[in-house]
Amino acid sequence: MTTSHYIAGRWVEGQGSDCISVNDPALGQPFAELKAASVAQVDQAVTAARGALPAWKNTSASERAAYLRGFAEQLGQRREALITLQMRNNGKPRHEAEIDLEDAIATFGYYAELAEQLPSKNRDVPLAAPGFSARTRLEPVGVVGLIVPWNFPLVTSAWKLAPALAAGCTVVLKPSEVTPLIEQAYGQIADALGLPPGVLNIVNGKAETGAALSNHNGLDKLSFTGSNSVGSQVMRSASAQCRPVTLELGGKSAIVVFDDCDVGQAVEWIVAGITWNAGQMCSATSRLLVQDGIADALLPRLQAALEQLRVGNPLTEEVDMGPLTSQAQWLKVAGYFATAREEGLQCLAGGKALDREGWFVSPTLYADVPKDSRLWTEEIFGPVLCARRFATEEQAIAEANDSRFGLVATVCSADLERAERVADALEVGHVWINSVQAVFVETSWGGTKGSGIGRELGPWGLSAYQSVKHVTRCLG
């Protein structure tokens, strides 16, 4: 059992009724256990954050920036332990675990810089009317609850934690019950840096703990990343209390491949967009739209590339793709394989669980998938790619936009004018042209339609934790 909750600057044991097993998905075996936080402990965490707020929000921006730089440095000092833990608990290949760590480090560094620029944002507003002066003041939203999923634990938490602390908010973070140990690093770092008690609190647990946090009336804002079904519950709690919410939800994103592409290069982009993190990405490009003129050449090469991927235990083998992170996810993906069989889909690769211990599935490709197939419309969250052909640019845009989600898209074309035109027409939050899943801390993250509300990263990620105040004075 691990002491796993960080409340008011102290590590405490869970007093909740749920017991959480932390699993190695490559073996399908638990390697740690912890007790969830109780509802009373969630309350203690929110109370601690409330108590810490007046002093924290009045720290200077440069003081907060120094703490954020400390987070970046200390993450670097824990590099090997954090990479290994992600490999063991998420099943990430080493190079992916390394990139996640680098992303988290870059995020803290970036928001340290933005924090330092904050004083210059509090400035006079030129008024057309005579006789008055006005100034802007960007204030922290207050106490924020942060609820995150398991697929990129270090990263998703960093994208919320760093801007929230930079803005002067205090925080209660609830990591996913699937990966509850990884974000403990943030509590350990807070300890090591001497972050004032209560500024960062971490409570672990399942749905009950998440609901206790999202329903808590002591929060000023809730920022949630996760599924649409839980996101809508979180939004209901926010609406009951009329308080702001940021939602980063699911996706069913398109990758559009025009017939002027180099086939080999396109195959690389397509494979990466669906097999990175074993396809467990909100931004997985799981709907392939391929133009008629290239489809017959591309699909067999894609099939071969998926079949050649090395799938295995990242801790003991050289792999391109690890297992799915949880048994629940493995069962869900297996359910979609069964649906594909019932629907009579044409399977060009995979379509089955691997016959070995652990929660592995084969990288999968279905071709000519009907538009009304559940596999074409629903988020699967696994390495399952569905393909359709298109004739014209207009048709590609219409099919890509024909989704209740709108998170990201990829456009592959040698004709850059066309690629930019298509990017502009896509109803999503982020488009990649001739690249794949390249996320930079300076650009925004978030979706349109059912993919969520609000943006993370960049200056927009900081604004999400700020409240705008104006002070207007009569000069007469």
| Interface ranges with ligand NAD (CB under 6 A) | 147-151, 156, 174, 176-177, 206-207, 210-211, 214, 225-227, 230, 233-234, 248-251, 282, 379, 381, 407, 447, 451-452
What is the distance, to the nearest Å, from the Cα of residue 430 to the centroid of all Cα atoms in its chain?
14
Contacts of residue 347, Cβ cutoff 8 Å, sequence gap at least 6: 340, 364, 365, 366
Hey, CA dihedral for 147, 150, 151, 156, is it positive or negative?
positive
E-assigned strands of 60-197?
Answer: 124-125, 132-140, 143-147, 170-174
d(CA 130, CA 211): 51
Q: SS3 for 52?
A: helix
Residue 155: both structure tokens together: 């990263």
Which is nearer to ligand NAD, 272 or 347 (by Cβ)?
272
Decide whether 234 or 340 has the Cβ nearer to ligand NAD: 234
Annotated active-site residue 386? The verdict is: no
Residue number with CB closer to ligand NAD (227 or 373): 227
Min dist CB 175 to ligand NAD, Å, is 6
Q: Catalytic annotation on 318? A: no
199 within 8 A of 52, measured Cβ to Cβ: yes
**Minimum gap (Å) between residue 469 Cβ and ligand NAD:** 29
What is residue 278's DSSP assignment?
G
Question: Looking at beta carbons only, is 91 or 452 nearer to ligand NAD?
Answer: 452
Name the active-site residue from 282, 386, 399, 412. 282
Please state the closest distance from residue 391 (CB atom) to ligand NAD, in A. Answer: 31
Residue 291 CB, nearest distance to ligand NAD (Å)? 27
β-pairing, 384-390 vs 364-367, is parallel
Least distance in Å: CB of 63 to ligand NAD? 30
257 residue type, one letter: V
User: Whose CA is closest to 92, among 268, 351, 275, 305?
Assistant: 275
Report, in Å, the least distance between residue 193 CB and ligand NAD.
25
Q: Are 456 and 446 in contact (CB under 8 A)?
A: yes
d(CA 442, CA 460): 9
Q: For the CB of residue 36, give the shortest distance to ligand NAD in the complex, in Å.
A: 10
Query: Shortest distance, CB of residue 243 to ligand NAD, whole angstroms?
Result: 15
Kindly list the strands in the beta sheet with 364-367, ordered across the sheet, starting from the edge strand earlier in the chain.
346-349, 364-367, 384-390, 287-291, 254-257, 408-412, 430-433
- In the set 116, 177, 183, 248, the catalytic residue is 248
Cα 118 from chain centre: 26
**Smallest separation, CB 202 to ligand NAD (Å):** 12
Rg (CA), the chain: 23
> Residue 412 corresponds to which tokens in the numbers above?
């592959």
From residue 355, give the alpha-carbon distance in Å to each of 303, 319, 326. 20, 17, 16
Q: Residue 205 or 351: which CB sits closer to ligand NAD?
A: 205
Q: Which is nearer to ligand NAD, 147 or 349 (CB)?
A: 147
Q: Pick between residue 320 and residue 456 the one whose CB is nearest to ligand NAD.
A: 456
Residue 380 to residue 20: CA distance in whole angstroms = 24
Nearer CB in complex with ligand NAD: 42/396: 42
Does residue 470 contact residue 136 with C-beta atoms inside 8 Å? yes
| Two tokens, residue 319 | 């792999």
Q: Are 109 and 69 within 8 A, CB to CB?
A: yes
Q: What is d(CA 370, CA 231) in angstroms, rounded to the nearest whole number?
A: 28
Tell me the residue number closest to ligand NAD, measured at CB: 210
What SS3 class is residue 20? Answer: strand
Query: Which C-beta is closer to ligand NAD: that of 325 or that of 466?
Result: 325
Q: How far apart are CA 349 and CA 356, in angstroms?
A: 18
Task: Give the Cα separation of 236 and 229 in Å (integer).
Answer: 11
Catalytic residues: 248, 282
